[in-house]
Structures are given as structure tokens and as C-alpha cells.
Structure 1
């Protein structure tokens, strides 16, 4: 994932970069910093899909964050913009450009974590997968899939009120899945943690009543995955 940080304070840039790398892991995220809105827009206008999220300081000399964000919205209506400000009274201006969230300076770690968790939810809710069903291509939200079951060279994809039989390997499906949302409970099953109803130590019961076996030795790992899901997406 690539993140843009646009702020004219070099020390603050370092602080937020360190906290972002601490949260995601330095290998999972690439952060590009800009000292002015003008510099950022020059890059953004050429590569409007390069960044997945923007941290934008409101108070900057020259072109301020609000005006820069109006330009951003002319190019990309949906990219999340998180405003950074030392003056909370200016935060209301962000609604003109559909700001995703606001963070007050000096930056508080718990506030940043909450914003990043909200962003993770947004990405997962909006993300889809293409499933080839015969001659049809289905677009399905990850949040709609309750669990996936392997059946030889096919997989059964279970939604709330329907099931699709897709020619695909379970391992290929696993590679595409959001790791925070899905868990491989058994060599033949991938489950959406959001649809878990209860767990008795050996089997996981889903909200639709289906019982999914849990491989021996995975009890602790499953509990950890469930707690992580609830922390981020619950």
C-alpha cells in the first residue's frame, strides 16, 4: 500500500512516518512525503491512482490543504483524505471535500490507530473479487462471502442465500483474500471471521448454521485471528 503525507513540518513528517511503519510494518507500506501541496499535486495529477490514502495538513504556506483537496476531488472522488490540523475549528471546512477523518496535532497514537482501523474497514467493505461462473463473471464483495469449501479442482463459495461452484484452487483463493477477514480453519475451508457464531474447541459454527472443522493444533491461532478481526473490523 502506498501512502502520501503532505505536511510542511519535517519533524512531523518523521513522526507520522514512524508511526505508520510501526502500525503496518515497514515492508507492507510505502510512504512518500511532500513539503507542499503544490509538490503533491504535481505528482498526483500525473499518477492519480498511485496512492491509496492521503494525509494532508490543512495549514500550509501557499496552497493550503483545503484548496489542494478540492483539486484532488476534481481528479479522484473516492480516495480517503485525512486532514492534519493544529486548529480544530478549521476541521469543518474538510466536509466541503468529503474528508475521511481529522487528526489533531500533536499526533496521538491511539487516534491514528483508530483512523487506520476505520480505513481498513472501508477498504474491505468496498473491495470485490471476480468469480468466473461458466461464461459469467461475478463481482462479489468479500464481506458477502461466508466461507469457501474446497471440492477437488473446484471451490464452493457460500454467500448468505446462494452458493457458487467455481473452478479454482483453494490456495489461489486464499492468496487473494483479505488476511484480516478470512482464516483457513482447515485444509478444505476458508472462513469469514465476521460470520462466526460460536466455537466449541473442535468446530466453528457459522451464522447460517454450517459447522466448519478446525484442524488439530489451530485452536490458539484461531483465537488470535478472531481477536485481531474484532480489534480491526469488529
Structure 2
């Protein structure tokens, strides 16, 4: 079952309560596994995403907030993580045009309609299921875990002879058997690149480059082989251009 993590930010607790009620109703009606966190401070939400970029799949953001408006908040969040579905909520339709610059998934006008809310959630769910590829990994302890390829930061060879691999996610590592060459072939059409003979990196999770290394969103540093550095940077820059168009 697909699990969704949702963040809700509104400095009006009444509207937070209204959104959570709609989410609870949606979960029961469609049997969807959803976890959500609520925030009355945009700065607290921004700090959460800064420290754990992959913590939310969907965000509901109020436009008019005192500490920072929802449009500014969304811009800062997009500089940390772009592939996140954002729904703006406002009392005023006049902000809709301004919101286009941060590419929201939808713009909701208060008061919220249950029917419109359900339709939006259905659309998001369809988009996630069509854009995200899930894989089930058999770990070395024989347990299984299903993960989204987009959540894998990199794949690391830990023992080539025994064909042991580590799949690095934001907050944990999965240990599995396999060959890095097989995964490179399998992920050829996705945003993964062999930056080193021991590493396959997800381009969407590159935070910045250091000398002979690339730093991922969670701070993990991996080496770049000399022959692959220029190709990797070109692929990374092309990927950034593509994401900006989304």
C-alpha cells in the first residue's frame, strides 16, 4: 500500500482542524495510508524540511501567514526539494496568479469544499502512482521493504565479491544482495548515474559538489571518479534545467 506523508501549515488552527478532518475522512473512504503533521509556524516547517528533505510528499500551505507567507515558504522549500506536491489555501483568489511562479499542484479557496478536496487528493494520488516507481528489496536479513526509487539517494557497493549493496535513504540504509551493474542497467531511464565504480547516485538528491566528491541532501559524501566528473556535472545541470521547467 502506498503511504503518503503530508505537512499542513496554517497559522489559523481552525483551518488546520478542517483539513485534518477532510484527510481523516479521505483515508477511511479510500483506504489510503496517510500520516500528517501540522504546523502553525512556517519557520518550523521549513526547518523540518531543511533537516529532513524527504519527510513530506504533499504540503498544504496557507498563503497569508504572519511570519512568512505561503508563496515565500514554497520558494524556499523548492530550493531544498522540488519534487513535492503543494496545495495553496487562501481566503483570496487574487493570490492565485502570484502562486504560479512556484508551480503549485492546486490552489484552494477558503472555505474548503469536501468534494473539491477529494478530487484534488484523487488527482495527486494518480500523479504519484504514475510518476513514482516502487521496488521491493529483499534485505540480507530476509526481510522485505518496498521503496520509491525517488527516495533512494544512492546505491553503494559494500562487498563486490559477496555482491552486497547498501541502498541509502534519507533516514536509514537497506542492506541487500545484488550487482551495481545490474541496477545501473535497471535504472538507466531514471535519474541515476554511476559517479564511481562503487556508487550509483540519484541526481535529484545531489545537494552540491565538493572537490572530487558530491554531497547528497542528507549530507552524505560520495566520491566521483575523475573520468566521470564532467559527465556527472553535465547530467546534473541538465536535470536542474528540466526540474525548473516542471
* TM-score exceeds 0.5: yes
2:131 and 2:188 map into 1 onto residues whose CA distance is 10
Shift of 1:27: 8.0
Give yes or no for the alignment of 1:65 onto 2:70.
yes
Give yes or no for the alignment of 1:17 onto 2:20.
yes
Give yes or no for the alignment of 1:7 onto 2:10.
yes
**Structure-to-structure mapping, 1:1-234, within 5 angstroms:** 1-25=4-28, 28-130=33-135, 136-137=182-183, 138-139=186-187
Q: Work out which of the two has the higher radius of gyration on C-alpha atoms and give 1 or 2.
A: 1
| Alignment coverage as a number of residue pairs | 141
Q: Deviations over 1:121-163 (max 9, x none)?
A: 110111124599x97343599xxxxxxxxxxxxxxxxxxxxxx
The alpha-carbon distance between structure 1 residues 58 and 8, as it changes in their structure 2 partners (threshold 3 A), is same
Q: 3-state SS of the aligned residue for 2:61?
A: strand
The alpha-carbon distance between structure 1 residues 126 and 71, as it changes in their structure 2 partners (threshold 3 A), is same
Shift of 1:89: 0.9
Q: Deviations over 1:91-120 (max 9, x none)?
A: 111111111111110000011011101101
2:51 and 2:136 map into 1 onto residues whose CA distance is 32
2:63 and 2:136 map into 1 onto residues whose CA distance is 42
2:38 and 2:61 map into 1 onto residues whose CA distance is 10
In structure 2, the gaps of 5 or more residues are 138-178, 190-246
Q: CA RMSD in A?
A: 2.5
1:122 and 1:74 map into 2 onto residues whose CA distance is 22
Q: Deviations over 1:191-227 (max 9, x none)?
A: xxxxxxxxxxxxxxxxxxxxxxxxxxxxxxxxxxxxx
Shift of 1:79: 0.4
Shift of 1:3: 0.6
| TM-score when normalising by structure 2 | 0.53
The alpha-carbon distance between structure 1 residues 120 and 62, as it changes in their structure 2 partners (threshold 3 A), is same
| TM-score when normalising by structure 1 | 0.55
Q: 3-state SS of the aligned residue for 2:53?
A: coil
In structure 1, the gaps of 5 or more residues are 142-234
2:115 and 2:44 map into 1 onto residues whose CA distance is 29
Shift of 1:58: 0.3
